[in-house]
Amino acid sequence: MLPDINVYKILEIIGTIAFASSGAMVAVKRRLDYLGIVVLGVTTAVGGGMCRDILIGQTPPGMFLDPTNTIIAFWTVNCMFLTIRMKWSQLLHLQGETYDNIMNFLDAVGLGLFTATGVNMAISAGFGNNGFLCAFLGVITGVGGGILRDILSGQTPVVLRKHIYACASIAGAVSYLLFMQAADHNLSMFLSSSIVVMIRLLARKYDWNLPGAQ
Amino acid sequence: MLPDINVYKILEIIGTIAFASSGAMVAVKRRLDYLGIVVLGVTTAVGGGMCRDILIGQTPPGMFLDPTNTIIAFWTVNCMFLTIRMKWSQLLHLQGETYDNIMNFLDAVGLGLFTATGVNMAISAGFGNNGFLCAFLGVITGVGGGILRDILSGQTPVVLRKHIYACASIAGAVSYLLFMQAADHNLSMFLSSSIVVMIRLLARKYDWNLPGAQ
Amino acid sequence: MLPDINVYKILEIIGTIAFASSGAMVAVKRRLDYLGIVVLGVTTAVGGGMCRDILIGQTPPGMFLDPTNTIIAFWTVNCMFLTIRMKWSQLLHLQGETYDNIMNFLDAVGLGLFTATGVNMAISAGFGNNGFLCAFLGVITGVGGGILRDILSGQTPVVLRKHIYACASIAGAVSYLLFMQAADHNLSMFLSSSIVVMIRLLARKYDWNLPGAQ
């Protein structure tokens, strides 16, 4: 038996939490204030979906019409803020490599589900016969938030530099489109997200990187 | 008696001038050429409204359909350019702290009025029942230009770092929405803008900053 | 005799190739990986048109509906990648100043044609009576890709800093609008593009720069 759609809702929430945390961590490292941390965290979590919605002309973007994810991201960032400020993470021994591994796994789950959700929304919006557009919208949903986070915090987007991050998203988007030819929505989402998670975990474990030109 | 709506038009022009000047000053400090100064100045003044219009799907953005503010920003930047190039500011003794204080006050007025205008436009566009969206559109109208200015000039947006700038805008947007429950447009705009100006002046005077996480 | 419209199609392809190459070169210099090179190259080539389409509400942007230019940009970047990786450019003696001169010329052609195309699309979309909007959309089509490239790679956009690049585009857009009063589309495109190319070549040869404020 495949998981029910509500399981995906829960997984998407997990992805939102992971993305919001990663944005908040970048803001903390750049010594931004409370509001900067909130903005970067929330942007990382919902920015990809916002880019997708603007590109297909669904305005105002979904993050305003159904702000569930926006609210989840907001509270996630606040918990992160408190945790770091109160130094609770030391009490929980959630530090260094353990913490990195947990975050990396959640982030991979988020990337996979956001990518599949993005492709799915593009199909729902009636662009199903334009595979290139659907795949692109899936990828931008997955990586757009991270790109906005990096632009706002003044660094070259990580997705352009490291660890086949966008590549995993591209693989997920394309495989979702392929699976949809033969399987239903649930199965496609499960399989394509699994592919993304697997690529990301392997890329981290074996330190895969794309070649540069020199 | 509350001021007539034409007073707000004048105040909005003052805000536009202040925003355009701040953009031009950043460009001058980064040693950009004449065109860079014009682009940064105009973007700072009208960029927030452009972001708002794209988010609610009012395309082309108002800055093109009614370019009054765009033109005012353009001539402001040209005056700044001439003033600095001709060193007239030294003749007028408009330097250092006096200049900073004047600019900070004008900028606060602009922030307050732009924020309230943004909320007002969101209500006019029919999003009055979505308070979160209205408040966000108000804030993006107020701070969006400054964020674009900082992204274009390659620095982490100041609003994420300093002096409760975005906070003042958020307070203004939320209070505008609250005042609108009980009062008319003019009174709400007056009160909410005053709140923004007051917060900004106090924040500067007493060097208020939001806490960071560490 | 003026060239047929198909000649312009070919020239636009040349412009796309030049823009994609310039984006790829920036990515190579910043040591981005293969995907970063592809993203920067393609963004530089089609990003200006994407900005224009979002601003006038033509969503999804043309780069997805008719991906010819996107595909050309993609293959251009791949050829660049191979050429640099295999060090073929040394075999062809396409290095240093010769290479720079060729790229600069192609880039000028691209800038001229993209600018005129942008103005033309704005007129087709029904904004012909708003000269300011048409000119702006032409300029953003011409320089928008380069601005996105520079924001993504974390530097102050070159167009704000150097060699009357945006100025040439502005001159092209305005002259296209003027020529359209008296001549047909083909002649206007030919003349305005020639003006852009001429300004760019002269600016490079005589090292023209706009004055700064100091």
Tokens found for residue A148: 């906005």
Residue A212 resides in a domain: no
- Which chain B residue is nearest to residue A33, measuring alpha carbons? B212
Q: Which A residues 137-156 touch B at CB under 8 Å? A: 151-154
Distances (CA, A) of C154 to A200, B179, C5, C40, C122: 25, 42, 38, 12, 30
Q: Which of B27-31, B91-95, C138-142 reaches the highest mean pLDDT?
A: C138-142
Per the prediction, chain B carries an average pLDDT of 85
Please classify residue A73 by burial: count the beta carbons closer than 10 Å to its beta carbon, then call 0-12 exposed, 13-18 middle and 19+ buried: buried
Report the distance separating Cα B124 and Cα B102, nearest Å: 33
Instruction: Enumerate the H helices of C66-164 as residue ranges.
Output: 68-86, 88-91, 96-122, 131-152
Per-residue confidence (pLDDT) for residue C77, from 0 to 100: 93
Interface residue B157 vs chain C (CB under 8 A): no
- The H-assigned helical ranges of B30-95 are 34-55, 62-65, 68-85, 88-91
Q: Within a domain: residue B37?
A: yes
3-state class (DSSP) for residue A94? coil
Is position C89 within any domain?
Answer: yes
Cβ pair A53, A61 in contact under 8 A: yes
Q: Is the pLDDT of residue B8 over 80?
A: no
**Which tens digit of pLDDT belongs to each residue from A148-189?**
988 888 888 877 776 688 889 999 999 999 998 888 888 888
Nearest to B11 by CA among B124, B111, B142: B111
The answer to the question of residue C213 being in a domain is: no
| Cβ atoms of residues A166 and A64 within 8 Å | no
A166 in contact with chain C, both atoms CB, cutoff 8 A:
yes
Structure tokens at B168: 């003042």
**Each residue's pLDDT tens digit, A39-62:** 999 999 999 999 999 999 888 898
Say if the Cβ atoms of C214 and B28 lie within 8 Å. yes
Q: How far apart are CA B22 and CA B77, in angstroms?
A: 9
pLDDT value at A213 more than 70: no
Record: contact A166-C35, CB cut-off 8 A: yes
Chain B residue numbers touching C57 (CB-CB < 8 A): 57, 59-60
| d(C-alpha A110, C-alpha A20), whole Å | 10
CA distance readout (Å), C166 to B44, B75, C36, C143, C148? 18, 19, 25, 7, 14
What's the pLDDT band for B95 if we cut at 50, 70, 90?
Answer: low
pLDDT at site C97: 73
Residue of C nearest to B56 (CA): C57
Q: Give the Cα separation of B21 and B19 in Å (integer).
A: 5
Contact criterion met (CB < 8 Å) for C34 and A136: no
Q: Which pLDDT value is given to residue B3?
A: 54
Q: Which of B160, B161, B208, B214 to mutate to test the interface with A (most CBs of A within 10 A)?
A: B160
Judge whether C16 and A202 are in contact, CB under 8 Å.
no
pLDDT in tens, A96-140: 677 777 778 888 888 998 999 899 889 888 888 888 999 999 999
Pick the closest to residue C43 from B31, A102, A198, A159 (CA basis). Answer: A159
> Is there a contact between A121 and A61 (Cβ–Cβ < 8 Å)?
no
Among residues A3, A2, A14, the alpha carbon closest in space to that of A111 is found at A14
Round to whole Å and give the CA distance between C131 and C126.
11
Q: Hey, CA dihedral for A192, A195, A197, A200, is it positive or negative?
A: negative
- Which residue out of A50, A51, A54, A55 would a mutagenesis test of the C interface target, given it has the greatest number of C Cβ atoms within 10 Å? A55
Looking at residue C130, the DSSP 8-state letter turns out to be -
In one-letter notation, the amino acid at residue A152 is L
Query: Per the domain annotation, does B84 fall within a domain?
Result: yes
Q: What is the dihedral of CA B118, B119, B125, B127, to 10 degrees?
A: 140
ipTM for the complex? 0.81
CB contact under 8 A, A64 and B130: yes
The minimal CB distance from B154 to the residues C55, C154, C214 is found for C154
Instruction: Report pLDDT for A5.
Output: 59
Predicted local distance difference test score (pLDDT) of residue C204: 83
Rounded to a whole number of angstroms, the distance from the CA of A2 to the nearest CA of chain C is 34
The reply to whether A182 touches chain C by the CB within 8 Å rule is: no
Share of chain C above pLDDT 90, in %: 32
Residue A93's domain comprises 5-205
Q: CA-CA distance, B85 to B96, in Å (whole number)?
A: 17
Contacts of A151 (CB under 8 A, 6+ apart): A157, B151, C151, C152
Q: For residue A197, tell me if it sits in a domain.
A: yes
Q: CA–CA separation, C214 vs B86, rounded Å?
A: 9
Rg value, chain A, Cα: 17
Per-residue model confidence (pLDDT) at position B9: 80
- Contact (CB<8Å) C55/B57: no
- The confidence score (pLDDT) of residue C172 equals 93
Residue in B126, B115, B103 with CA at minimum distance from that of residue B8: B115
Tell me if A156 and C151 make a contact (CB, 8 A cut-off): no
Q: Is C60 on the interface with A (CB under 8 A)?
A: yes
Q: Tell me the pLDDT band of C45, cut-offs 50, 70 and 90.
A: very high
pLDDT tens by residue, C183-209: 888 888 889 999 999 998 888 888 777
Asked if the model's pLDDT at residue C91 lies above 70, the reply is no
Tell me if C58 is assigned to some domain.
yes
Band (B93; pLDDT cuts 50, 70, 90): low
Q: What is the identity of the amino acid at B138?
A: G
Read off the pLDDT of each residue in C169-180 and give the average, rounded to a whole number.
92
- Write the single-letter amino acid at B197: V
CA gap A166, B20 in Å, rounded: 37
- With beta carbons under 8 A apart, name residues in chain B contacting A33: 160-162, 209-212
Distance between CA B29 and CA B26 in Å, rounded?
5
Chain A residues touching residue B136 (CB < 8 angstroms): 64
Which residues in C lie closer than 8 A to residue B155 (C-beta atoms)?
Answer: none
| A212 Cβ under 8 Å from any chain C Cβ | yes
Q: Is A136 exposed, middle or buried (0-12, 13-18, 19+ CB in 10 A)?
A: buried
Inter-CA distances, B1 with B13, B125, B210, C101, Å:
22, 29, 36, 67
Residues of A in contact with B211 (CB under 8 A): 33-34, 85
Q: Distance (Å, rounded) from C-alpha A159 to C-alpha C46?
A: 20
Of residues A28, A32, A85, nearest to B160 (C-beta): A32
pLDDT value of residue B94 = 57
- pLDDT value of residue C71: 93
Q: B34, C161: Cβ pair inside 8 Å?
A: no
Q: Is the CB of A153 less than 8 angstroms away from the CB of B155?
A: no
Nearest CA to B101 out of B8, B204, B25, B183 is that of B204
Bridge partner residues of B33 (DSSP): C212
> What percent of chain C has a predicted confidence (pLDDT) above 70?
91
- Percent of chain B surpassing pLDDT 90: 32
8-state DSSP, C33? B
Number of domains present in the structure of chain C: 1
Q: Which has the minimum average pLDDT: A51-65, A83-97, C170-184, C200-214?
A: A83-97
Q: Could you report the per-residue pLDDT of B146-161, keeping only the tens digit for each?
A: 899 888 888 888 777 7
pLDDT of residue B2: 54
State the pLDDT at residue B213: 67
Q: Do A57 and C61 touch (CB under 8 A)?
A: no
Interchain contact C30–A (C-beta under 8 A):
yes
| Chain B residues close to A64, C-beta within 8 Å | 55, 130, 132-133, 136
Residues of B in contact with A67 (CB under 8 A): 132
Give the tokens for residue C193: 């593009």
Contact C93/A at CB under 8 A = no
Q: Alpha-carbon distance B15 to B18, whole Å?
A: 5
C39, C64, C70: residue with CB nearest A160:
C39
Residue A214 lies in a domain: no
Is C156 in Cβ contact with B30 (below 8 Å)?
yes
Tens of pLDDT, residue by residue over A11-45, are: 788 889 989 988 888 888 888 888 889 999 999 99
User: Is B133 within 8 Å of A85 when comparing Cβ atoms?
Assistant: no
> What DSSP character marks residue A160?
G
